[in-house]
Amino acid sequence: MSIRFLRNAGSSAQPYKKIKLHNKILGETMTSRLARMCVLLCTLPAANALAGTIPPNQDVATTLASPPTLIDVPPLKAAAQRLDQHGIRIDLNYVDDFIANPGSGIIENQTGNLGLFGINADFNLEKIIGLKGATIHEATTVYGLRSNSHMLTNQGSMLGTINYLKYHSPVVLNMLTYEQKIGRLDFEVGRSNVLRYFWRQNCDNPFNCEPALMAGDTPLMPLRYASWSGLARYQVTRAWYLQAGGFEDNAYNLNTNGLHFSTNHSTGTLGVGEFGYTTTFKTAAFPAHYEFGLWGDTTPHTNPYLSALGRPVQIYTKDPKASEPDPIGMFAEGRQVVWVGARQHAVGAQPKNIALTWGLFAPLNGGQNFDLEAWLGGIFTGVIPGRPYDHFGFRVHYLQLGSDFAHSETVARILAGGNADPQPRNEYSFEVSYDIHLAPGVMLAPTAQYLINQDTYYFPKTRIAPRNGFVVSAFLVISLDHMLGLPAPRL
């Protein structure tokens, strides 16, 4: 299952760029703004609350005109406006995720559901205490309507959806940071997650777009939970930017939902740096977003599959472990509008357009679980007559398992009493999705994926080889603040 919410940042300058699914980036860096713009104008407000990122397909928002609202509650709007005047802006979003795997995975024909309620806030310290360029950001997710929470462990790591909650508490902390803007420089420190700033999910349906290689080859799991971090960003021009950040490796977050502030369980640091380019329909005829970067991790690594004697660890459990160098890798992602049609008259709608998306992730000194991940896709926005806000897309997704990882899955299956057929190293997913604008602030996003050669990353001791087949899901996204006509995000 998966879910995500969009959040809004503090005050800001001009529209520059965005970064990952829940939109809280640097308290109003270009990224934040675009995300918010999309949240209110394009009714895709809840793209990634857990990840702290922004929905990619909404980056090309074109106008700041206020969209229509679904419900008019004057007292509530008046109260929200008063809070905004004093520097406090609150965003409320709900996402419900239903998923089913007819005829695929390890255990077939299962369904599951997960609901997420996002409570996000920005505190503009310039308005509150006169501290210019300063903002405090908060993002929290509350889980509910859970059914068959562990269903996705039956599917392989190719399925890019948000992991179910493990810890008994339904509350997850995604962000609690302090941001300071000084001219073109932007600094942010506190509790946050790497998906808020890097590896922007540029698929049509961002709920299915988390890089599996980063989730599997770094000790950050789950990627969306908050840990201690810091980030610096420099806006070179209106389009070009540089940014770098460090994030605490603390797998204990999986047991505390990011609410454990101690560093007692820290094992190292993930460092990420990138340079990127972003334009929108306000600044370019054919908007684009590109990001290129490197990552490295300092947590001590050992080979989880082969011992120092080169034997399978599942069988030779007493063999000494084989140490491995600290992993480093590269990544590159892009989204380029390649065709633009007529402008649409609907408030806040983009021109009709078609965009190509792509991504590439690869370790540079050998991967532990995956050696390569790549995808290519397309997004069609506003091309259906009478549906200016709708968009649909497709994606072909490829993931190559590391040789040790693939061999270990074969050995584990044999030990569990299964067949000796080798685990394929090459996995594929063919995806189609359609985001339907139902009403102001309400969006439904059905998605279908056909998975080939799935691994058993989340279910390593099964004797059953996963079956090829479909996984279907539907995400209902409700931007409560947008529906009620509350103040739009600061742009």
Q: Which of 167, 269, 181, 171 is nearest to 228 (CA)?
A: 269
Q: What backbone torsions phi and psi does residue 203 show, to the nearest 5 degrees? A: -85, 170
Mean pLDDT of 355-380: 89
**Neighbouring C-beta atoms of residue 237, cutoff 10 Å:** 9
Cα–Cα distance, 195 to 35 (Å, whole number): 14
At residue 325 the predicted structure's pLDDT band, cuts being 50, 70 and 90, is confident
Q: What pLDDT, on a 0 to 100 scale, did the predictor assign at position 177?
A: 95
Of 45-49, 116-120, 204-208, 228-232, highest mean pLDDT: 228-232
| pLDDT at residue 57 greater than cutoff 90 | no
Question: H or E element: which one contains 39?
Answer: helix 30-41
116, 49 contact by CB (below 8 A): yes
At residue 168 the predicted structure's pLDDT band, cuts being 50, 70 and 90, is low
| pLDDT at residue 27 greater than cutoff 90 | no
Q: What pLDDT, on a 0 to 100 scale, did the predictor assign at position 137?
A: 94
| pLDDT at residue 312 greater than cutoff 90 | no
What is the identity of the amino acid at 54? I
Q: What pLDDT, on a 0 to 100 scale, did the predictor assign at position 427?
A: 94
Q: What pLDDT, on a 0 to 100 scale, did the predictor assign at position 165?
A: 54
211: helix, strand or coil: coil
Overall pTM > 0.85: no
Mean pLDDT of 174-184: 94
Mean pLDDT of 217-232: 77
At residue 488 the predicted structure's pLDDT band, cuts being 50, 70 and 90, is low
Of 159-173, 222-236, 279-293, highest mean pLDDT: 279-293
| pLDDT at residue 20 greater than cutoff 50 | no
At residue 293 the predicted structure's pLDDT band, cuts being 50, 70 and 90, is very high
Cα–Cα distance, 222 to 165 (Å, whole number): 10
Q: What pLDDT, on a 0 to 100 scale, did the predictor assign at position 148?
A: 75
| pLDDT at residue 273 greater than cutoff 50 | yes
Averaged confidence pLDDT in the chain: 78
| pLDDT at residue 474 greater than cutoff 50 | yes
* Strand pairing report for 88-100 and 301-307: unpaired
What is the SS3 assignment for 15-36? CCCCCCCCCCCCCCCHHHHHHH
Q: What pLDDT, on a 0 to 100 scale, did the predictor assign at position 491?
A: 37
DSSP calls for 202-262: -SSSGGG---HHHHHHSTT-STTS-EEEEEEEEE-SSSEEEEEEEEEE-TTHHHHTT----
| pLDDT at residue 40 greater than cutoff 50 | no
Q: What pLDDT, on a 0 to 100 scale, did the predictor assign at position 34?
A: 32
At residue 338 the predicted structure's pLDDT band, cuts being 50, 70 and 90, is very high
Strand partners, 429: 397, 451
Cα–Cα distance, 278 to 15 (Å, whole number): 10
- 142-167 pLDDT, tens digit each: 888 877 766 666 777 777 555 555 55
Strand partners, 334: 290, 358
- 400-453 pLDDT, tens digit each: 998 888 888 888 888 888 888 899 999 999 999 998 988 888 889 999 999 999
Burial bucket for residue 385 (CB in 10 Å: 0-12, 13-18, 19+): exposed
| pLDDT at residue 300 greater than cutoff 50 | yes
Lowest mean pLDDT among 161-170, 312-321, 417-426, 477-486: 161-170
Instruction: List the end-to-end C-alpha distance of the chain, in Å, as a whole number.
Output: 32
Q: What backbone torsions phi and psi does residue 85 show, to the nearest 5 degrees? A: -60, -25
Cα–Cα distance, 442 to 251 (Å, whole number): 35
